[in-house]
Amino acid sequence: MASDGTLNFQEAEAALAKAAVKASQQDLDAAYDLYVRAAKAFLHLARTTASNSGGRTQSAVLSARCRENAAKALERAEQIKARRSTLGSQSSGGTRKPPATRNLAVNVYSIVIDDALPATDEGLLLCASTRGTRVLWPSIIEKAYMKVMGGYDFPGS
């Protein structure tokens, strides 16, 4: 583990493998946490590898592999989230099991954005819009979110 708390590639792969084991053992909370941790590590590694690559093919391949692994980890975490909500709403033996609760840390950001929104040459917005109405808040929220996330260069964009 690096001094800043991030995982290296082998540790991130180990977290991904350990998450799969926990999921097979039906320890969904631990599996979810490990998948999210692995995804964060792979995304961090993809960004740092891409910024340090300077055009080297090996670094570009590693960065792409990190992005693929991050996407895989996030997909599995979403599957676990869906499975937990399904399990929480089903009855088992006449007793209803409450859904799992989590303590989530919230990061508060203070950012400044301009009023320019991405649009085509014809003036159609290339971001969230409310079709026909003149409501701009969805587009502005999306722009702020994308600024915090570092642009459109991440899985799921």
pLDDT one-digit tens code per residue, 130-143: 777 778 888 888 88
Query: Residues 113, 140: contact at Cβ < 8 Å?
Result: yes
Average pLDDT, stretch 35-40? 90
* Among 154, 153, 22, CA closest to 77: 22
Q: What is the mean pLDDT of the chain?
A: 77
Provide, rounded to the nearest whole percent, the portion of the chain with pLDDT above 90: 8
Q: Residue for token digits 């493998």?
A: 17
d(CA 134, CA 113) in angstroms, rounded, equals 19
Q: What dihedral angle (degrees, nearest 10) is formed by the CA atoms of 7, 9, 11, 15?
A: 100
Q: For the full predicted model, state whether its pTM sits above 0.85.
A: no
How long, in residues, is the chain? 157
Band of residue 156 on the pLDDT scale cut at 50, 70, 90: very low
State how far the Cα of 66 lies from the Cα of 38, in Å rounded to an integer. Answer: 10
Residue 32: its pLDDT value, please? 92
